[in-house]
Amino acid sequence: MPALCWRPGRIGSLELAHRIVMGAMHLGIESQPGGAALAAFYAERARGGAALIITGGSAVSRVGAGGRHYSFINEPAEGAKLRAVADAVHQADGRIALQLFHAGRYAFERTFGLQPLAPSAVPSRFSKSTPRAMTAGDIAQTLADFAAGARRARELGFDAVELMGSEGYLLNQFLSPLTNLREDEWGGDFARRTRFPLAVLRHVREAVGGDFPVIYRLSGADLMPGSTTDEETAAFTDLLRAGGADALDVGIGWHESQVPTVPYTVAPGAWTSCAARIKQAAGTLPVIASTRIHTLELAERVLEQARADFVSLARPFLADPAIVAKSRAGESRRVNLCLACNQACIDRSLADEAVSCMVNPRAGRELELRQRRPARRRGWVAVVGAGPAGLEAARVLGEAGWRVVLFEAEPEIGGQFRLASRIPGKSDYARTVAYFARELDRLGVEVRAGRAIEADSMQDLEGAEAVILATGVRPRHPELRGIELPHVRTYTQALLEPAADGGPAVIIGAGGIGVDVAH
Ligand code: SF4
């Protein structure tokens, strides 16, 4: 049971119940009118116990948006929506900071037909566009946009703002010698490259006053050869402290970096050394560690080793909105673990689609897929197939008070997740299957494994109020000459019964499964 996680904390004037923060994630539902879905998403995480929620970035201008589905803090029509979000979180007894965002050269020209703005006209491999170097007028306008956004966030009821200065976005671009090639007062040597981000902080501070918490998200490591050095990051940390930041949130890596930062192949906690370096330079200023921290046990270790004062988890709140509440109640075995697969969250976000979660399909659809109150039901429901979809269907029906019978043709539950758990680095998939097994047991779901439902076993389903088919994925059998030969196997066979001789093998198909099997 984590202990340091549950100590109260403070960011500027903001008292926080404990040390676990929900980090910013762009959800792709920010543009929906009214904001009901967005409010429901955040309120559920507040009820789930996050001490502070940091929203996905709200763009300070159209040209600074990272895609079609951003909210725009400075546009009058967006006010009611953002106020609804802050209100919903407060009603759930939560605290919420709005992240102020400008993508700079990571904006997509195709989104609104606006050429992205950046310190210099350095093409971006991420957005595939070449930005326009900002004029003195653009710089003055952008400073004013950040200040106006912060003032408005305060008026709309947010408890704090965060300035997005990492992951290669605009403020980070000004700091880096790779993207700031200016020779005027806003670029050149390190001191001049710090001027724009520090000016943003100063303008924001002046706009909101001394008592409103301002968090700065700085880059702990750009992971770009030739970019800002560790020594410069430490010096910049000192400047942010002197400039009036109330806390530093440590982001890692640019979107153009060749170094992966968040997939399952990255060891959990790998980046906390960057937070520790910043904490050393930050003195008494609170530091928030983030990036690839997936459990509260790991968060506890980060605090124990004094690598940070707060720990931010993002995707784990998609996988389980109640991760904090369950852990505080001593039920951490009931937490649905984030697998760092990125398939339904980051991959969709980068494609400008609404995000969800592979292990929690309600994520982002809290209004559409409402949780039902448990009720005594008369009948029973059959779920056919105990892969991830069938397991979640059985769990949700069990929570809603149904008697559920889950049929699985294989001798064990898990489906594709059971196969995935055999891939090097993907053992967490087995933890997810174990989570479902515990949940189904708790809910009294009857599991009939090794029982295929075929035409001649339909009597098993007789009397069911409903039958949920979740029979899922089957390997394709392409029409290839020789496919019937005995040494040709499906990926399912290859994973469940690996060949003993270790001889040479040919894999046809280099999608995710082909690569996993090769691994
Ligand atoms: Fe985690 Fe995968 Fe869900 Fe994203 S989709 S939150 S990486 S489990």
Question: pLDDT digits over 91-114, tens only?
Answer: 999 999 999 999 999 999 999 999
- Provide the token pair at 361: 């399909």
Q: What is the mean pLDDT of residues 112-133?
A: 96
Residue 34 CA, ligand 1 centroid: distance in Å: 27
Q: What is the mean pLDDT of residues 45-50?
A: 98
336 lines ligand 1 (CB under 6 A): no
What pLDDT score does 169 carry?
98
- Minimum-distance ligand 1 atom for the alpha carbon of 339: 8
Only one residue has tokens 């930062």, namely 261
**pLDDT-wise least confident of 180-189, 261-270, 495-504:** 495-504
> To test the ligand 1 pocket, which listed residue (261, 265, 341, 429) has its Cβ within 8 A of the most ligand atoms?
341
Q: What are phi and psi of 149, to 5 degrees?
A: -65, -40
Q: What is the mean pLDDT of residues 117-122?
A: 98
Is the pLDDT reported for residue 444 higher than 90?
A: yes
| Structure confidence at residue 372 as a pLDDT band (50, 70, 90) | confident
The DSSP 8-state label assigned to residue 370 in this structure reads P
Cβ neighbors of 371 (< 8 A, separation 6 or more) are 362, 399
Cβ neighbors of 348 (< 8 A, separation 6 or more) are 28, 354, 355, 356
Cβ neighbors of 462 (< 8 A, separation 6 or more) are none
Phi-psi region of 93 (alpha: psi -120 to 50; beta: other; left: phi over 0): left
C-beta neighbour count of 328 within 10 angstroms: 19
User: Which of 441, 382, 439, 437 has its CA nearest to residue 415?
Assistant: 437
Residue 365 CA, ligand 1 centroid: distance in Å: 15
User: Which of 508, 472, 502 has its CA nearest to residue 489?
Assistant: 508
Residue 42 annotated among the catalytic residues of the structure = no
383 lines ligand 1 (CB under 6 A): no
Is the pLDDT reported for residue 371 higher than 90?
A: no
What pLDDT score does 20 carry?
98
Is the pLDDT reported for residue 474 higher than 90?
A: no
296 lines ligand 1 (CB under 6 A): no
For residue 107, the one-letter residue type is A
Is the pLDDT reported for residue 478 higher than 90?
A: no
Residue 432 CA, ligand 1 centroid: distance in Å: 12
323 lines ligand 1 (CB under 6 A): no
Residue 317 CA, ligand 1 centroid: distance in Å: 9
Is the pLDDT reported for residue 25 higher than 60?
A: yes
- Provide the token pair at 67: 């895609």
345 lines ligand 1 (CB under 6 A): yes
340 lines ligand 1 (CB under 6 A): yes
319 lines ligand 1 (CB under 6 A): yes
Q: What is the mean pLDDT of residues 33-42?
A: 96
Residue 201 CA, ligand 1 centroid: distance in Å: 33
H or E element that contains 448? strand 446-449
Q: What are phi and psi of 509, to 5 degrees?
A: 110, 115
- Strand ranges for 127-240 from DSSP E: 132-133, 160-165, 214-221
- Minimum-distance ligand 1 atom for the alpha carbon of 343: 5
What pLDDT score does 455 carry?
82
User: Which of 287, 296, 325 has its CA nearest to residue 93?
Assistant: 325
- Minimum-distance ligand 1 atom for the alpha carbon of 356: 5
CA 490 to mean position of chain CA atoms: 33
What pLDDT score does 1 carry?
54
What pLDDT score does 78 carry?
96
Strand partners, 97: 54, 160
**pLDDT-wise least confident of 354-368, 419-433, 448-462:** 448-462
**pLDDT-wise least confident of 224-238, 247-261, 372-386:** 372-386
**Using alpha carbons only, what angle is made at residue 276 by residues 271 and 281, rounded to the nearest 5 degrees?**
135
**pLDDT-wise least confident of 40-54, 97-111, 153-167, 361-375:** 361-375
pTM of the full structure: 0.95
Cα separations in angstroms, 167 against 56, 228, 256, 270, 330? 13, 12, 9, 16, 35
Is the pLDDT reported for residue 241 higher than 70?
A: yes
Q: Cα(196)–Cα(199) distance, rounded to whole angstroms? A: 5
The DSSP 8-state label assigned to residue 126 in this structure reads T
Strand partners, 312: 21
| Structure confidence at residue 502 as a pLDDT band (50, 70, 90) | confident
Q: Cα(290)–Cα(287) distance, rounded to whole angstroms? A: 10
What pLDDT score does 411 carry?
94
User: Which of 262, 271, 294, 290 has its CA nearest to residue 432?
Assistant: 294
The DSSP 8-state label assigned to residue 256 in this structure reads T
- Closest Cα to atom 1, ligand 1: which residue? 338
Q: Cα(91)–Cα(12) distance, rounded to whole angstroms? A: 22
Q: What is the mean pLDDT of residues 403-423?
A: 95
Is the pLDDT reported for residue 206 higher than 80?
A: yes
The answer to whether residues 44 and 32 touch, using CB atoms and an 8 Å cutoff, is no
357 lines ligand 1 (CB under 6 A): yes
Is the pLDDT reported for residue 464 higher than 70?
A: yes
User: Which of 63, 62, 53, 66 has its CA nearest to residue 26?
Assistant: 66
What pLDDT score does 285 carry?
97
Residue 264 CA, ligand 1 centroid: distance in Å: 10
| Structure confidence at residue 174 as a pLDDT band (50, 70, 90) | very high
Q: Which of 70, 106, 169, 435 is catalytic?
A: 169
